[in-house]
Amino acid sequence: MPLNPHRTTLTQFLIEERRRFPDASGDFNSLILNVALACKSIARAVAFGALGGVLGNAGASAGSAPSINVQGETQKQLDVMSNEAFLHITEWGGQLAGMASEEMEDPYQIPQHFPKGKYLLVFDPLDGSSNIDVNVAVGSIFSVLRAPEGVDTVCEKDFLQTGTQQVAAGYAIYGPATMLVLTVGTGVNGFTLDPNLGEFILTHPGLQIPPDTNEFAINSSNSRFWEEPIKRYVDECLAGKSGARDKDFNMRWIASMVAEAHRILMRGGVFMYPRDSKDPNKPGRLRLLYEANPIAFLIEQAGGKASTGRQAISGVQPSSLHQRIGVIFGSRNEVERIEHYHLAPQANDLPNPLFNERSLFRVAN
């Protein structure tokens, strides 16, 4: 493919953004470029598949039991390798005070021989890892927070910041093409990896999610555990043209939230992994700090909404590093509809025309 010298690289994009802040030190840009490098290295490992000898569970190769992470989930080799890539490709640069990851119970301390910086990096090194062995898209999710001033040894409490406090967030998707999708709070930009140059190139500037959609994503095998508002919403989608919504819906479930978020950023839709009653110890499947918050930041920056059903995800005060939460995000009007169903769970019975789905929320065809 011929080189187009007029395309914007991620480096150029970051430098041009930084020019708007003459006092910026450049630390933030260096951090993002290191995160991008970690993602490129994971993309290579994923792309080699079985040839790279990286598929399968971690710790299982010598006949021992597979290793289990803090979440109680079996770790894949690529979960572990991706975690190492994030840690070691970013720890040396002097921009970070500490890190936290889905794969580590406690915060990661920057080794003493490296300088410390003013940011915290929180990440899910490999999202959708059940898809690795079947060659379906996976990704990495990251969030950048500010470290408390003067902190030397980071602790859990330093990371317990609301989504609104994120400095930046993004994900890499390792699909047919590798992409990095980033927000620094001024919209959402998508970059595609040119595998020959090894550079992320700006291909999707200013992503915007259409406010309406007829596509939803949920793991229906959990339907018996759902709360009433979710049951109602999904039932109405399934009823299609013959039901209250008066239009047909399409359903998707990839089991990689990154891939679902990416589809929604590209063409709209709504994603739900709501709070349910499956396991009383787990109020939801997804983790607040390194899954829900960064994706919510991106979705909101692209004009969509992200909610627990009861409040904006970005406003939830975290209480622990690996806290789980119900997640609903995507096209604004659908998420608002689902929020209203949570506010008015008995809406079907209410005479109030405000809650009649054929009036207030009726979607024009």
256 near ligand AHG (CB under 6 A)? yes
Give min distance, CB of 322 to ligand AHG, in A: 11
> Strand 96-101 relative to strand 119-127: parallel, antiparallel, unpaired?
parallel
Residue number with CB closer to ligand AHG (75 or 183): 75
Give min distance, CB of 68 to Mn ion, in A: 13
Residue list 278-337, contact with ligand AHG (CB under 6 A): 285
Site string for ligand AHG, 60-89 (x = CB under 6 A): -------------x----------------
Residue list 156-215, contact with ligand AHG (CB under 6 A): none
Site string for ligand AHG, 86-125 (x = CB under 6 A): ----------------x---------------------x-
Residue number with CB closer to ligand AHG (124 or 194): 124
Residue number with CB closer to Mn ion (30 or 74): 74
Residue number with CB closer to ligand AHG (289 or 347): 289
> Strand 138-146 relative to strand 96-101: parallel, antiparallel, unpaired?
unpaired
Q: Which residue is nearest to Mn ion (CB)?
A: 127
Rounded distance, CA 182 to CA 190, Å?
6
Backbone φ, ψ for residue 18 (5° rounding):
-65, -30
Residue number with CB closer to ligand AHG (147 or 306): 306
Rounded distance, CA 42 to CA 81, Å?
8
219 binds, among Mn ion, ligand AHG, none (CB under 5 to 8 A by kind): ligand AHG
Residue number with CB closer to ligand AHG (268 or 274): 274
Stretch that binds ligand AHG, among 48-56, 183-191, 243-251, 253-261 (CB under 6 A): 253-261
Query: Which three-class secondary structure string do you get for the chain?
Result: CCCCCCCCEHHHHHHHHHCCCCCCCCHHHHHHHHHHHHHHHHHHHHHHHHHHCCCCECCCCCCCCCCECCCCCECEHHHHHHHHHHHHHHCCCCCEEEEEECCCCCCEECCCCCCCCCEEEEEEEEECHHHHHHCCCEEEEEEEEECCCCCCCCCHHHHCCCHHHCCEEEEEEECCCEEEEEECCCCEEEEEEECCCCEEEEEECCCCCCCCCCEEECCHHHHHHECHHHHHHHHHHHHHHHCCCCCCCEEECCCCHHHHHHHHHHHCCEEEECCECCCCCCCCCEEHHHHHHHHHHHHHHCCCEEECCCCEHHHCCCCCCCCEECEEEECHHHHHHHHHHHHCCCHHHCCCHHHCCCCCCCCCC
Residue number with CB closer to Mn ion (102 or 236): 102
Site string for ligand AHG, 230-249 (x = CB under 6 A): --------------------
Give min distance, CB of 178 to ligand AHG, in A: 17
Where does this chain bind Mn ion (CB under 5 A)? 102, 124, 126-127
> Strand 250-252 relative to strand 215-217: parallel, antiparallel, unpaired?
parallel
256 binds, among ligand AHG, Mn ion, none (CB under 5 to 8 A by kind): ligand AHG
Residue list 122-161, contact with ligand AHG (CB under 6 A): 124, 127-130
> How many residues in the shown chain lie near ligand AHG by CB under 6 A?
13
Give min distance, CB of 124 to ligand AHG, in A: 5
Q: Which residues bind ligand AHG (CB under 6 A)?
A: 73, 102, 124, 127-130, 219, 255-257, 273, 285
